[in-house]
Amino acid sequence: MEFEPFQRVLLTIEYDGSGFYGWQRQANFRSVQLEMERAVSRAVGRETTIWGASRTDTGVNAVGQRAHFHNYSTIPAEKFPFVLNTMLPPDVRVTAARNVPEWLHARFSCRGKVYTYRIHNSRHASAILRNWTTHIPVPIDENKMYEAAQRMVGTHDFGAFQAAGGTAKTTIRTIHGIDIAREGDDITMIVRGSAFLYNMVRIMAGTLIAIGQNRLSPDCINEALETQNRLVLGVTAPPNGLELTRIYYDLDGERAPGVAGYEEHAVLESKMENEMESEMENE
């Protein structure tokens, strides 16, 4: 069979997860991967598979999902956001595209990720923010959350922070930093790490919320890291508060600080370490 040349294209994708049963393609349910594959296949004129970096769950949002595909068409990579966004539903958008080397795989070449968890800490839920925040009506002390969160920074066995169904070969993970801040009724938690286990960030968030409400002691984190006992931690926080914010690769320009449209990330990303450990599993 004659070799057919192609370019490997890496996309950056934003989506509102409230209308999807997660990223991964599945029968009889709407998924982001399926919507992307339909649009790309239509654009390039042939059936095309999309490989995503993170298999986000039902209801999880993203502003920085990454995915690659093989482009056999003559469409330049930088034109794909304009082409695909005319074909995608309004709750999915491609925000950037670039050609990348053939060695790069969206999932397995990942060098680090940033997740954001948002809490609307008010007596009343927000109609506007309901799909992008978790509503917690009981007061939370964000300073207690932050102090407890620092116990998770570093390289640890996070086995207790993995939900049932996780398939990671190792539960050792490196967390580079956790920042927590309040603005009015809204608390934002930003977690930067090499890789994450299944539901890891949501378990971290649920545990820190309980600590911020004095329902759990911060010592539960140390006990969980030492014993891998899931039962000493808090509940898994709801998916709608979670956002996949950014994914990094060993590519030129990938260390630029900040995330477009989110001023707080520009400050936090400036503190990112120069090197992030390479691991293959993701949440």
What positions carry a catalytic annotation?
A: 57
Q: In Å, how far from its chain's centre is CA 10?
A: 16
**Phi, psi of 114, deg, nearest 5:** -125, 125
Q: Is 236 helix (H, G, I), strand (E, B) or coil?
A: coil
Count of H-run helices and E-run strands, the chain: 6, 10
DSSP label at residue 223:
H
Looking up tokens 């920074």, which residue turns up? Answer: 153
Three-class secondary structure of residue 104 per DSSP: coil
Strands 112-120 and 134-135: parallel
Concatenated DSSP letters of 130-194: TTTSEE--S---HHHHHHHHGGG-EEEE-GGG--TT---S--EEEEEEEEEEEETTEEEEEEEES
Of 30, 55, 40, 46, nearest in space to 10 by CA: 40
Are 58 and 199 in contact, with CB atoms under 8 Å apart?
no
Buried b (16+ CB within 10 A) or exposed e, 107-121: bebbbbbbbbbbbbb
Question: What is the C-alpha to C-alpha distance for residues 153 and 172, in angstroms, rounded to an integer?
Answer: 12
